[in-house]
A and B are shown apart, each in its own frame.
Chain A
Amino acid sequence: MDKATSSSRRSPWFWAGNYLASSAIIVVLKLTDAITAPVAMILFLGAMGLLIPLVRASERGDCVNPVIIRYNRRFLIASFGYVLGLGIAIAVWNSYKLTGATVFALALLPTLPTFGMIWAMGRYLVEETDEYLRYRMVRAALMSLGLVLAIGIFWGFLEMFELVPHVWSWWVLPVWAVGLGIAQVVMKVRGE
Protein backbone atom coordinates (compact mmCIF):
# COMPACT_ATOMS: atom_id res chain seq x y z
CA MET A 1 0.00 0.00 0.00
CA ASP A 2 1.55 3.34 -0.98
CA LYS A 3 1.90 6.29 1.34
CA ALA A 4 -0.95 8.32 -0.16
CA THR A 5 -3.42 5.43 0.09
CA SER A 6 -2.33 4.68 3.65
CA SER A 7 -2.85 8.33 4.62
CA SER A 8 -6.33 8.43 3.05
CA ARG A 9 -7.36 5.33 5.02
CA ARG A 10 -6.65 6.77 8.45
CA SER A 11 -9.59 7.04 10.83
CA PRO A 12 -11.29 10.39 11.56
CA TRP A 13 -10.01 10.08 15.15
CA PHE A 14 -6.40 10.21 13.87
CA TRP A 15 -7.02 13.55 12.15
CA ALA A 16 -9.13 14.88 15.04
CA GLY A 17 -6.33 14.00 17.47
CA ASN A 18 -3.73 15.70 15.27
CA TYR A 19 -5.92 18.79 14.94
CA LEU A 20 -6.53 19.06 18.70
CA ALA A 21 -2.83 18.47 19.50
CA SER A 22 -1.74 21.10 16.95
CA SER A 23 -4.27 23.61 18.28
CA ALA A 24 -3.17 22.95 21.87
CA ILE A 25 0.50 23.52 20.96
CA ILE A 26 -0.36 26.80 19.20
CA VAL A 27 -2.38 27.97 22.24
CA VAL A 28 0.51 27.12 24.59
CA LEU A 29 3.00 28.92 22.34
CA LYS A 30 0.76 32.00 22.25
CA LEU A 31 0.07 31.98 26.00
CA THR A 32 3.80 31.77 26.74
CA ASP A 33 4.44 34.63 24.28
CA ALA A 34 6.69 32.40 22.18
CA ILE A 35 4.77 33.55 19.09
CA THR A 36 2.83 36.70 18.18
CA ALA A 37 -0.91 36.80 17.53
CA PRO A 38 -0.58 36.99 13.70
CA VAL A 39 1.82 34.01 13.69
CA ALA A 40 -0.58 32.08 15.96
CA MET A 41 -3.44 32.88 13.58
CA ILE A 42 -1.46 31.70 10.53
CA LEU A 43 -0.42 28.51 12.34
CA PHE A 44 -4.00 27.90 13.43
CA LEU A 45 -5.18 28.32 9.84
CA GLY A 46 -2.58 25.69 8.87
CA ALA A 47 -3.78 23.37 11.65
CA MET A 48 -7.30 23.75 10.33
CA GLY A 49 -6.05 22.13 7.13
CA LEU A 50 -6.17 18.87 9.14
CA LEU A 51 -9.95 19.23 9.23
CA ILE A 52 -10.10 18.51 5.47
CA PRO A 53 -8.79 14.89 5.76
CA LEU A 54 -10.88 14.59 8.95
CA VAL A 55 -14.07 15.38 7.03
CA ARG A 56 -12.98 13.17 4.09
CA ALA A 57 -12.21 10.25 6.42
CA SER A 58 -15.65 10.59 8.02
CA GLU A 59 -17.23 10.44 4.54
CA ARG A 60 -15.86 6.95 3.82
CA GLY A 61 -18.03 3.87 4.21
CA ASP A 62 -21.17 2.43 2.66
CA CYS A 63 -23.77 4.01 4.93
CA VAL A 64 -22.61 7.61 5.06
CA ASN A 65 -25.47 10.05 5.35
CA PRO A 66 -25.28 12.60 2.47
CA VAL A 67 -26.96 15.22 4.69
CA ILE A 68 -24.15 14.86 7.23
CA ILE A 69 -21.59 15.17 4.43
CA ARG A 70 -23.16 18.45 3.27
CA TYR A 71 -23.34 19.71 6.88
CA ASN A 72 -19.68 18.87 7.53
CA ARG A 73 -18.52 20.58 4.33
CA ARG A 74 -20.60 23.70 4.96
CA PHE A 75 -19.38 23.91 8.54
CA LEU A 76 -15.76 23.42 7.44
CA ILE A 77 -15.98 26.24 4.88
CA ALA A 78 -17.61 28.51 7.48
CA SER A 79 -14.88 27.62 10.01
CA PHE A 80 -12.13 28.55 7.54
CA GLY A 81 -13.98 31.81 6.82
CA TYR A 82 -14.25 32.51 10.53
CA VAL A 83 -10.54 32.03 11.31
CA LEU A 84 -9.53 33.97 8.21
CA GLY A 85 -12.03 36.77 8.92
CA LEU A 86 -11.01 36.98 12.57
CA GLY A 87 -7.32 37.07 11.66
CA ILE A 88 -7.80 39.85 9.11
CA ALA A 89 -10.09 41.83 11.44
CA ILE A 90 -7.64 41.67 14.36
CA ALA A 91 -4.67 42.54 12.13
CA VAL A 92 -6.47 45.56 10.61
CA TRP A 93 -7.79 46.66 14.03
CA ASN A 94 -4.28 46.58 15.51
CA SER A 95 -2.70 48.38 12.57
CA TYR A 96 -5.12 51.23 11.88
CA LYS A 97 -7.19 53.68 13.90
CA LEU A 98 -10.69 52.95 12.68
CA THR A 99 -14.11 54.33 13.57
CA GLY A 100 -17.77 54.10 12.60
CA ALA A 101 -18.81 52.20 9.49
CA THR A 102 -15.33 50.74 8.93
CA VAL A 103 -15.39 49.13 12.38
CA PHE A 104 -18.89 47.85 11.63
CA ALA A 105 -17.62 46.24 8.42
CA LEU A 106 -14.60 44.88 10.28
CA ALA A 107 -16.84 43.23 12.88
CA LEU A 108 -18.77 41.57 10.05
CA LEU A 109 -15.65 39.70 8.85
CA PRO A 110 -15.65 37.09 11.65
CA THR A 111 -19.40 37.44 12.25
CA LEU A 112 -20.72 36.44 8.81
CA PRO A 113 -18.94 33.05 8.78
CA THR A 114 -20.49 32.27 12.19
CA PHE A 115 -23.89 33.03 10.64
CA GLY A 116 -22.82 30.46 8.03
CA MET A 117 -22.26 27.91 10.82
CA ILE A 118 -25.72 28.60 12.27
CA TRP A 119 -27.22 28.35 8.78
CA ALA A 120 -25.44 25.00 8.23
CA MET A 121 -26.96 23.66 11.47
CA GLY A 122 -30.39 24.90 10.43
CA ARG A 123 -30.10 23.33 6.97
CA TYR A 124 -29.09 20.02 8.56
CA LEU A 125 -32.35 19.96 10.51
CA VAL A 126 -34.33 20.86 7.37
CA GLU A 127 -32.58 18.33 5.10
CA GLU A 128 -32.28 15.40 7.54
CA THR A 129 -34.96 12.87 6.56
CA ASP A 130 -34.15 10.38 9.33
CA GLU A 131 -36.52 11.39 12.14
CA TYR A 132 -34.47 9.73 14.90
CA LEU A 133 -31.25 11.52 13.91
CA ARG A 134 -33.20 14.79 13.61
CA TYR A 135 -34.74 14.20 17.04
CA ARG A 136 -31.29 13.64 18.54
CA MET A 137 -29.93 16.83 17.00
CA VAL A 138 -32.93 18.91 18.14
CA ARG A 139 -32.62 17.44 21.62
CA ALA A 140 -28.89 18.17 21.74
CA ALA A 141 -29.52 21.72 20.50
CA LEU A 142 -32.12 22.34 23.22
CA MET A 143 -29.88 20.91 25.95
CA SER A 144 -27.03 23.08 24.71
CA LEU A 145 -29.29 26.13 24.57
CA GLY A 146 -30.25 25.47 28.20
CA LEU A 147 -26.56 25.39 29.09
CA VAL A 148 -25.91 28.70 27.32
CA LEU A 149 -28.90 30.37 29.02
CA ALA A 150 -27.91 29.06 32.45
CA ILE A 151 -24.27 30.15 32.14
CA GLY A 152 -25.25 33.48 30.55
CA ILE A 153 -27.75 34.41 33.25
CA PHE A 154 -25.49 33.31 36.11
CA TRP A 155 -22.46 35.10 34.64
CA GLY A 156 -24.53 38.20 33.95
CA PHE A 157 -25.51 38.56 37.61
CA LEU A 158 -21.99 37.74 38.81
CA GLU A 159 -20.74 40.47 36.48
CA MET A 160 -23.43 42.92 37.64
CA PHE A 161 -22.29 42.43 41.24
CA GLU A 162 -18.67 42.91 40.10
CA LEU A 163 -17.50 39.45 41.09
CA VAL A 164 -16.31 38.40 37.62
CA PRO A 165 -14.86 40.37 34.68
CA HIS A 166 -16.85 41.37 31.60
CA VAL A 167 -16.91 38.76 28.84
CA TRP A 168 -17.65 39.59 25.19
CA SER A 169 -20.98 38.14 24.19
CA TRP A 170 -19.68 36.14 21.20
CA TRP A 171 -18.85 33.44 23.76
CA VAL A 172 -22.37 32.07 23.19
CA LEU A 173 -21.49 30.30 19.93
CA PRO A 174 -18.40 28.34 21.11
CA VAL A 175 -20.15 27.46 24.40
CA TRP A 176 -23.21 26.34 22.45
CA ALA A 177 -21.00 24.21 20.18
CA VAL A 178 -19.30 22.64 23.22
CA GLY A 179 -22.76 22.12 24.72
CA LEU A 180 -23.79 20.18 21.59
CA GLY A 181 -20.88 17.80 22.19
CA ILE A 182 -21.69 17.46 25.91
CA ALA A 183 -25.34 16.76 25.05
CA GLN A 184 -24.30 13.93 22.70
CA VAL A 185 -22.22 12.39 25.50
CA VAL A 186 -25.08 12.81 28.02
CA MET A 187 -27.54 11.11 25.64
CA LYS A 188 -25.05 8.27 25.08
CA VAL A 189 -24.54 7.77 28.82
CA ARG A 190 -28.30 7.82 29.43
CA GLY A 191 -28.79 5.31 26.61
CA GLU A 192 -31.02 7.61 24.57
Chain B
Amino acid sequence: MSREAILERVRTALGRKPGDVPTGPPPVYLSQTGRTTEQRIAAFTVALESLAGRAVRCSSPAVARATVNAMIAGKHAIASLSSYLHELQIAAEVPDAAVYREACAAADVGITSADYALADTGTLVLFSDAEESRLVSLLPPRHIAVVPVSRLIDSLDDLLGRVPLPADATSSMVFITGPSRTADIEQILVRGVHGPGDVTVVLVDD
Protein backbone atom coordinates (compact mmCIF):
# COMPACT_ATOMS: atom_id res chain seq x y z
CA MET B 1 0.00 0.00 0.00
CA SER B 2 1.24 3.49 -0.80
CA ARG B 3 0.81 4.71 2.77
CA GLU B 4 3.32 2.25 4.18
CA ALA B 5 5.67 2.72 1.24
CA ILE B 6 5.76 6.49 1.68
CA LEU B 7 6.15 6.38 5.45
CA GLU B 8 8.86 3.76 5.06
CA ARG B 9 10.77 5.97 2.60
CA VAL B 10 10.39 8.97 4.89
CA ARG B 11 11.74 7.01 7.85
CA THR B 12 14.64 5.57 5.86
CA ALA B 13 15.52 9.05 4.59
CA LEU B 14 15.52 10.43 8.12
CA GLY B 15 16.92 7.41 9.95
CA ARG B 16 13.82 7.13 12.14
CA LYS B 17 11.79 4.19 13.42
CA PRO B 18 8.01 3.85 13.63
CA GLY B 19 6.73 5.44 16.81
CA ASP B 20 9.73 7.78 17.27
CA VAL B 21 8.47 10.95 18.93
CA PRO B 22 10.12 14.30 18.13
CA THR B 23 11.69 16.46 20.76
CA GLY B 24 9.40 19.48 20.98
CA PRO B 25 9.00 21.84 18.03
CA PRO B 26 10.35 25.40 18.37
CA PRO B 27 8.17 27.37 20.83
CA VAL B 28 5.11 29.05 19.31
CA TYR B 29 5.86 32.57 18.07
CA LEU B 30 2.94 34.96 18.61
CA SER B 31 3.31 38.73 18.91
CA GLN B 32 1.13 40.97 21.05
CA THR B 33 0.17 44.55 20.37
CA GLY B 34 -2.30 45.53 23.08
CA ARG B 35 -4.34 48.32 21.48
CA THR B 36 -7.31 50.18 22.93
CA THR B 37 -10.74 49.72 21.34
CA GLU B 38 -10.54 53.09 19.62
CA GLN B 39 -7.10 52.28 18.23
CA ARG B 40 -8.39 48.97 16.94
CA ILE B 41 -11.30 50.61 15.18
CA ALA B 42 -9.00 53.19 13.62
CA ALA B 43 -6.49 50.54 12.47
CA PHE B 44 -9.24 48.29 11.08
CA THR B 45 -10.78 51.16 9.12
CA VAL B 46 -7.46 52.25 7.60
CA ALA B 47 -6.51 48.68 6.65
CA LEU B 48 -9.88 47.82 5.08
CA GLU B 49 -10.22 51.10 3.21
CA SER B 50 -6.71 50.81 1.78
CA LEU B 51 -8.08 47.68 0.06
CA ALA B 52 -11.12 49.54 -1.27
CA GLY B 53 -13.38 47.97 1.34
CA ARG B 54 -15.59 50.17 3.51
CA ALA B 55 -15.87 50.37 7.30
CA VAL B 56 -18.87 52.09 8.91
CA ARG B 57 -19.22 52.62 12.64
CA CYS B 58 -22.62 52.68 14.28
CA SER B 59 -23.19 53.92 17.83
CA SER B 60 -25.95 51.41 18.63
CA PRO B 61 -27.76 48.33 17.27
CA ALA B 62 -30.68 50.56 16.29
CA VAL B 63 -28.43 52.79 14.20
CA ALA B 64 -26.87 49.70 12.66
CA ARG B 65 -30.29 48.36 11.69
CA ALA B 66 -31.22 51.62 10.00
CA THR B 67 -27.81 51.86 8.26
CA VAL B 68 -27.94 48.35 6.85
CA ASN B 69 -31.57 48.62 5.84
CA ALA B 70 -30.74 51.80 3.92
CA MET B 71 -27.82 50.05 2.19
CA ILE B 72 -29.99 47.18 0.97
CA ALA B 73 -33.13 49.11 0.12
CA GLY B 74 -34.42 48.05 -3.30
CA LYS B 75 -31.89 45.25 -3.60
CA HIS B 76 -32.28 41.52 -3.30
CA ALA B 77 -30.48 40.93 -0.01
CA ILE B 78 -30.10 37.68 1.89
CA ALA B 79 -28.82 37.16 5.41
CA SER B 80 -27.11 34.29 7.20
CA LEU B 81 -28.71 32.55 10.16
CA SER B 82 -26.59 34.59 12.56
CA SER B 83 -28.44 35.16 15.83
CA TYR B 84 -26.83 38.58 16.07
CA LEU B 85 -28.38 39.63 12.74
CA HIS B 86 -31.67 38.16 13.87
CA GLU B 87 -31.62 40.29 17.02
CA LEU B 88 -30.81 43.36 14.94
CA GLN B 89 -33.87 42.64 12.78
CA ILE B 90 -32.23 43.37 9.45
CA ALA B 91 -34.74 43.51 6.61
CA ALA B 92 -33.21 40.71 4.58
CA GLU B 93 -34.49 37.31 3.63
CA VAL B 94 -32.97 34.23 5.27
CA PRO B 95 -32.88 31.58 2.52
CA ASP B 96 -34.48 28.23 3.02
CA ALA B 97 -32.01 25.38 3.54
CA ALA B 98 -33.42 23.41 0.59
CA VAL B 99 -32.59 26.12 -1.97
CA TYR B 100 -29.71 27.72 -0.12
CA ARG B 101 -27.16 27.71 -2.95
CA GLU B 102 -29.59 28.96 -5.54
CA ALA B 103 -30.72 31.77 -3.23
CA CYS B 104 -27.12 32.84 -2.58
CA ALA B 105 -26.31 32.71 -6.29
CA ALA B 106 -29.30 34.91 -7.17
CA ALA B 107 -28.86 37.60 -4.49
CA ASP B 108 -27.35 41.08 -4.95
CA VAL B 109 -26.17 41.36 -1.38
CA GLY B 110 -25.12 38.77 1.24
CA ILE B 111 -25.22 39.82 4.88
CA THR B 112 -23.32 38.03 7.63
CA SER B 113 -21.88 38.76 11.01
CA ALA B 114 -18.35 37.58 11.88
CA ASP B 115 -16.84 35.62 14.73
CA TYR B 116 -13.91 38.03 14.92
CA ALA B 117 -12.46 40.97 13.05
CA LEU B 118 -8.70 41.65 12.97
CA ALA B 119 -7.71 45.28 13.34
CA ASP B 120 -4.18 44.96 11.94
CA THR B 121 -5.21 43.75 8.51
CA GLY B 122 -8.88 44.75 8.16
CA THR B 123 -9.85 41.08 8.18
CA LEU B 124 -13.16 39.33 8.91
CA VAL B 125 -12.97 35.87 10.49
CA LEU B 126 -15.97 33.63 9.73
CA PHE B 127 -16.51 30.21 11.22
CA SER B 128 -18.90 28.06 9.25
CA ASP B 129 -21.47 26.64 11.65
CA ALA B 130 -25.21 26.54 12.28
CA GLU B 131 -25.31 30.36 12.07
CA GLU B 132 -22.83 31.31 9.38
CA SER B 133 -22.56 29.61 6.00
CA ARG B 134 -19.79 29.53 3.46
CA LEU B 135 -21.75 30.84 0.50
CA VAL B 136 -23.57 33.94 1.79
CA SER B 137 -20.31 35.87 1.98
CA LEU B 138 -19.07 34.42 -1.31
CA LEU B 139 -21.66 34.16 -4.09
CA PRO B 140 -23.41 37.58 -4.08
CA PRO B 141 -21.45 40.45 -5.68
CA ARG B 142 -21.72 42.48 -2.49
CA HIS B 143 -20.95 41.43 1.09
CA ILE B 144 -22.02 43.33 4.21
CA ALA B 145 -20.76 42.12 7.58
CA VAL B 146 -22.30 43.48 10.77
CA VAL B 147 -19.90 42.99 13.66
CA PRO B 148 -20.12 44.11 17.29
CA VAL B 149 -17.03 46.09 18.30
CA SER B 150 -16.37 43.61 21.10
CA ARG B 151 -15.39 41.04 18.46
CA LEU B 152 -12.71 43.31 17.01
CA ILE B 153 -9.32 42.04 18.19
CA ASP B 154 -5.76 43.09 17.38
CA SER B 155 -4.35 40.65 14.90
CA LEU B 156 -3.92 37.17 13.50
CA ASP B 157 -1.57 36.46 16.42
CA ASP B 158 -4.27 37.58 18.83
CA LEU B 159 -6.81 35.29 17.13
CA LEU B 160 -4.57 32.22 17.22
CA GLY B 161 -3.78 32.96 20.86
CA ARG B 162 -7.51 32.88 21.67
CA VAL B 163 -8.38 30.04 19.28
CA PRO B 164 -5.36 27.71 19.19
CA LEU B 165 -7.36 24.90 17.57
CA PRO B 166 -9.93 26.34 15.12
CA ALA B 167 -10.75 22.84 13.88
CA ASP B 168 -12.37 22.08 17.23
CA ALA B 169 -14.97 24.76 16.47
CA THR B 170 -15.62 24.44 12.75
CA SER B 171 -14.81 22.59 9.55
CA SER B 172 -14.20 25.91 7.80
CA MET B 173 -12.61 29.07 9.14
CA VAL B 174 -12.24 31.76 6.51
CA PHE B 175 -10.38 35.06 6.67
CA ILE B 176 -11.76 37.74 4.39
CA THR B 177 -9.48 40.72 3.83
CA GLY B 178 -11.16 43.16 1.47
CA PRO B 179 -12.92 42.57 -1.86
CA SER B 180 -12.09 39.67 -4.19
CA ARG B 181 -9.41 40.72 -6.67
CA THR B 182 -7.12 39.61 -9.44
CA ALA B 183 -4.22 41.10 -11.36
CA ASP B 184 -3.71 38.15 -13.68
CA ILE B 185 -4.01 40.11 -16.93
CA GLU B 186 -1.18 42.59 -17.37
CA GLN B 187 -1.01 43.12 -13.61
CA ILE B 188 -4.08 45.35 -13.82
CA LEU B 189 -6.11 45.20 -10.61
CA VAL B 190 -9.74 44.14 -11.08
CA ARG B 191 -12.10 43.64 -8.14
CA GLY B 192 -14.90 41.12 -7.82
CA VAL B 193 -13.52 38.36 -9.99
CA HIS B 194 -15.10 35.37 -8.23
CA GLY B 195 -16.08 36.63 -4.79
CA PRO B 196 -17.76 39.94 -3.85
CA GLY B 197 -16.19 43.03 -5.39
CA ASP B 198 -17.68 45.15 -2.67
CA VAL B 199 -17.13 44.53 1.06
CA THR B 200 -18.64 46.72 3.76
CA VAL B 201 -18.11 46.13 7.46
CA VAL B 202 -20.54 47.71 9.89
CA LEU B 203 -18.95 47.98 13.33
CA VAL B 204 -21.54 48.27 16.07
CA ASP B 205 -20.87 49.62 19.55
CA ASP B 206 -22.37 47.21 22.05
**Does B bind A?**
no
Query: Which residues in B have some Cβ–Cβ distance to A below 8 Å?
Result: none
